[in-house]
Each structure stands twice: as C-alpha cells, then as structure tokens.
Amino acid sequence: MMNKKNRKQSPNKLICNVTYASRISNKTYLANKADKFNISVDAFKLYYLSKDGYAQVVAEVEAGGLDKAAEVFKVEKKTIISYLRYNGRGKFVKQDKPNGRIDGVGKEVVEEKELVTV
C-alpha cells in the first residue's frame, strides 16, 4: 500500500488561471510550447488556461474588450493579452475596435503599398 505523503509533486502540473482546474503534462509538450512562443516553460505555465478558461476569457473580451476582461478577472491588461496569445490557436478575438483585433494578439496583417515611380 502506497503512502500518498511520500509522493513528490510533479513539476509538469498545469493549473488554469481562471477555472483553477489542473492537469499533468509532460516535459516534451511544455518544452515545445515554450519554444513555439520563445518563452520559458515557467512563463508558459504562468499563463496557462484550460479550454473552459480560455472560452471564458474570449467571451469577456468579445463582450467588453480587454479592459473589462482585465477588471473581471482581476489581472492586468497585458496578462489578458498573454492568456490569449499563449493559449489560443492564433485567431483574432473580435471586440469593439475598428480593425477588429487585439493589439499584440494573433498575426498582424501588413498591407502592401504600391510603389509609384516618377
């Protein structure tokens, strides 16, 4: 019979910042995610959201914008942007802005301008 007191805490445990649900991951997954975003594994773990947590953040941002979402979740605006950047699929989150995207989240579209030669 194993004694649970003797078990070590896994360093690969991910805890959602919104729902507080936790799950165990593996080193390879965490290393690949961190490399993808050019951050450390600890930084990825700091901004981790579960699917349900991500859906809640997206719903708040779509309903009231980044500032309102930051107020609701009691974090800074840049933290909300990090949540969306590191946990989404790179899609834009619609909000009440003229260009319909969040600054710093997703891929930017650069318009090509025609060169006029005289």
Distance CA 97, CA 67 (A): 13
Residue pair 54/83 in contact (Cβ under 8 Å)? The answer is yes
Q: Are 66 and 95 spatial neighbours (Cβ–Cβ below 8 Å)?
A: yes
Query: How far apart are alpha carbons 59 and 55 in whole angstroms?
Result: 6
Please give the chain's pLDDT, 118 residues, in tens: 566 677 778 888 999 999 999 999 999 999 999 999 899 999 999 999 999 999 999 999 988 889 999 999 999 999 999 999 999 876 666 665 555 555 545 443 333 334 444 4
Q: Where are the domains of the chain?
A: 11-118
> Is 102:58 a contact under the CB 8 Å cutoff?
no
Owner of token pair 């936790």: 22
Closest by alpha carbon to 87, among 38, 41, 37, 40? 37
